[in-house]
Amino acid sequence: MNILKFIETFTDDSLMRSTGSRRDSFNQFGNIGKTLAMASIPFGLSAFANKALAKDITATPATPIGALQFALTLEYLENEFYAMALDSGVIPASENGGRDLKVFQQIAAHESDHVKFLIAGLGGTMSANFVTKPTFDFTVGGAFDPFGDYPTFLALAQAFEDTGVRAYKGQAANLISAPDLLTAALQIHSVEARHASEVRRLRGLKGWISNDERGAGMPSATQAVYNGEGLTMQAGFNTATAFGAAAGSEAYDEPLTTQQVVDIANLFIV
Amino acid sequence: MKNEVKIHEVDPSLNNRRSFLKLSGLTLVSAGLVIAGCSNNDDNDSPMEDTSLPGIRNGVFDLGSGDFGVLTYAYALEQLEADFYTKVVNASNFNTTFNDIERQVLTDLYHHEVIHRDFFKAALSGALPNPSTQLLPSLAFNYGSMNFNSRSEVLATAKALEDTGVAAYNGAGKLIKSPDYLLLAGKIVSVEARHASAIRSLINPNSSDFAGDDIISTSTGLDAAKDPSKILPIAGGFITTKFTAKYLP
């Protein structure tokens, strides 16, 4: 049984029914096992997960509109992250002969385009389906210094891009009834994957994810982004047989559920 | 729209029959291969025929339509990618043509694409009602005059194949009815996009080419998405086994 799926059924229900805080949703677990729930909180920052802030985003409905709203919130996050990084000067202009700056300027341009595209797709800022940008804190209350420390910026960029790939993938089924929206989401999904590959390679890693490894130099707090990526059984086919588990797992990226992504994103939302 | 990829063997000495395929900046001389484009020639099909299943129709293997058609289409593309990288890593000068990082990338891509190909073969063999007649056979390939010991030719072809693969999966997603199959395609397409980015980065490292303006829209930030009828004439340049895709858009 998929534990995360099990947890999601609880958190989704409580969050969708009310404006309830995360603390409320934890109470739903009662004696089922609070430690189990806490173990699922990404980035290992369980202390922060108890903040139960009213501004936290909640899981969007499993509908095409919900998927677009969910995507927009993620793009808000990425867009602001890269815009702030470029403004802060944390990306050294001389790094790799200027390569890094070119890379992140391109990524920033794409994320900005994605925000505009998704807002338009939701009917514009006056539409009832429009969702506003949350307030982000990329330091997570001071735990990270992404705009003062370049390696931290790179690590978070990798985590956000790899999360983005998994997040869009997890929304595909919600868009199956809306072919045009599905195609657009796929067209963003592959751009996120191109970004992820390049950021990983800038960090000296492979462009693809081996097993469920977050990779050298990634804080242990980012492991939740990679949990589940080590899968080597695909529709009954063992992808590890031919060349081993690392290659088999690299050949497939795995989805994250809406709730798993919400939990990651909420760490950066105040 | 019905489309058919017809590939005829032609004597390369007939100089008026050489075809030149332009793939994302790479001009490939595919000696002896001529592609005939779209055809509406399905008048002979019975109106009662189930076109969703792959199989021989009018003497030629047709990919079919629906989920089986899309999966078979993906299987054809993965066969091409797997064959290409198998030839790349087995080329006589592989160890001297490419540096350590390039060899690692190309070897990984060889592994991934062979796994994808074998996955589709297994998945289709398990899902098709009668795989003995409905499973796409192993295709044959011809890369014309391409030199597998040329770094620039190999990387340029790899770039074209990976970008084409991404556009193919992005365009095929909406044709898939089963959420499970859609997710599987999604699991693969992002890896193809990671490949495309890495290959582009190897070709031009100090640049934004990994997700360059030549492939990602500068107004929407969207990657390419193409129908099978746009993809098969490109991929068909390398595929010598004749098959049709009359029932895919």
Residue A54, burial from CB neighbour count under 10 angstroms (0-12, 13-18, 19+): exposed
Q: Does any domain span residue B49?
A: no
Of the candidates B122, B195, B216, the beta carbon closest to that of A110 is on B216
Helix (H) or strand (E) holding B201: helix B179-203
Q: Does any domain span residue B165?
A: yes
Res A221: pLDDT = 86
Q: How many CB atoms are closer than 10 A to CB A262?
A: 26
Res B11: pLDDT = 35
Measured distance CA(B232)–CA(B119) in Å, rounded: 21
In this predicted structure, the answer to whether residue A45 has a pLDDT above a threshold of 60 is no
In this predicted structure, the answer to whether residue A3 has a pLDDT above a threshold of 70 is no
Smallest CA-to-CA distance from A156 within A85, A234, A96 is with A85
Cβ–Cβ contact A158 with B under 8 A: no
> Is B119:B127 a contact under the CB 8 Å cutoff?
no
pLDDT (tens, 9 = 90+) of chain B, 249 residues, equals 445 554 433 333 333 323 333 333 333 333 333 333 334 444 444 555 688 899 999 899 999 999 999 999 999 999 999 999 999 999 999 999 999 999 999 999 999 999 999 999 999 999 999 999 999 999 999 999 999 999 999 999 999 999 999 999 999 999 999 999 999 999 999 999 999 999 999 999 999 999 999 999 999 999 999 999 999 999 999 999 999 999 999
DSSP letter string over A5-72?
A: HHHHHHHHHHHHHS---HHHHHHTTGGG-HHHHHHTSGGG-HHHHTT--TT---PPPSSHHHHHHHHH
Domain count, chain B: 1
Average pLDDT over residues A124-140: 96
Lowest mean pLDDT among A15-24, A100-109, A111-120, B119-128: A15-24
Measured distance CA(B170)–CA(B123) in Å, rounded: 20
Contact B192 A190 (CB under 8 A): yes
Q: Does any domain span residue B6?
A: no
Q: Does any domain span residue B41?
A: no
Res B95: pLDDT = 98
Res A20: pLDDT = 33
- Give the CATH number of the domain where residue B88 resides: 1.20.1260.10
Contact B206 A96 (CB under 8 A): yes
Residues 227-246 of A with CB under 8 A from B: 234-237, 239, 242-243
Contact B194 A112 (CB under 8 A): no
Contact A250 B191 (CB under 8 A): yes
Average pLDDT over residues A2-9: 32
Res B48: pLDDT = 56
Question: Mean pLDDT over all residues of chain A?
Answer: 84
- Look at strands B60-62 and B55-57 and give their pairing: antiparallel
In A165-201, which positions are buried (b, 16+ CB within 10 angstroms) versus exposed (e)?
A: bbbbbbbbbbbbebeebbbbbbbbbbbbbbbbbbbbb
Res A56: pLDDT = 84
Q: Does any domain span residue B116?
A: yes
Res A55: pLDDT = 73
Chain B hits for A243, Cβ within 8 Å: 111, 114-115
Measured distance CA(B161)–CA(B96) in Å, rounded: 23
Of the candidates B123, B196, B211, the beta carbon closest to that of A110 is on B211
Residue type, B68: F
Res B50: pLDDT = 80
Contact A183 B225 (CB under 8 A): yes
Q: Which residue of B lies nearest to A75 if distances are taken between CA atoms?
A: B221
Domain A58-207+255-267 in CATH 1.10.10.920? The answer is no
Res B4: pLDDT = 54
ipTM, 2 decimals?
0.84
Of the candidates B123, B187, B190, the beta carbon closest to that of A190 is on B190
Q: Does any domain span residue B14?
A: no
Q: Residue B243 pairs with which residues in a beta bridge?
A: B5, B61
In this predicted structure, the answer to whether residue A107 has a pLDDT above a threshold of 70 is yes
What lies within 8 Å, CB to CB, of A169 at 6+ separation is: A189, A253, A254, A255, A256, B183, B186, B187, B190
Chain B hits for A237, Cβ within 8 Å: 118-119, 122-123
Res B148: pLDDT = 98
Of the candidates A168, A176, A242, the beta carbon closest to that of B118 is on A242
Domain boundaries, chain A: 58-207+255-267
Model confidence pLDDT, tens digit, residues A7-35: 333 233 333 333 333 333 333 333 233 33
Res A39: pLDDT = 38
Contact A117 B196 (CB under 8 A): no
Contact B171 A117 (CB under 8 A): no
Nearest chain B Cα distance for residue A158, angstroms: 13
Measured distance CA(A232)–CA(B244) in Å, rounded: 33
Average pLDDT over residues A148-166: 98
Q: Does any domain span residue B13?
A: no
Contact A96 B111 (CB under 8 A): no
pTM (predicted TM-score): 0.83
Measured distance CA(B223)–CA(B218) in Å, rounded: 10
DSSP letter string over A120-147?
A: HHTT-TTSTT--PPPPB-TTTTTT--TT
Residues 78-137 of A with CB under 8 A from B: 96-99, 102-103, 105-107, 109-114, 116-117
Domain encompassing residue B170: 55-244
- Look at strands B60-62 and B243-245 and give their pairing: parallel
- Look at strands A233-234 and A237-238 and give their pairing: antiparallel
Of the candidates A172, A191, A236, the beta carbon closest to that of B223 is on A191
Nearest chain A Cα distance for residue B99, angstroms: 15
Q: Does any domain span residue B167?
A: yes
Average pLDDT over residues A218-239: 96
Measured distance CA(B15)–CA(B31) in Å, rounded: 10
Smallest CA-to-CA distance from A166 within A118, A224, A232, A246 is with A224
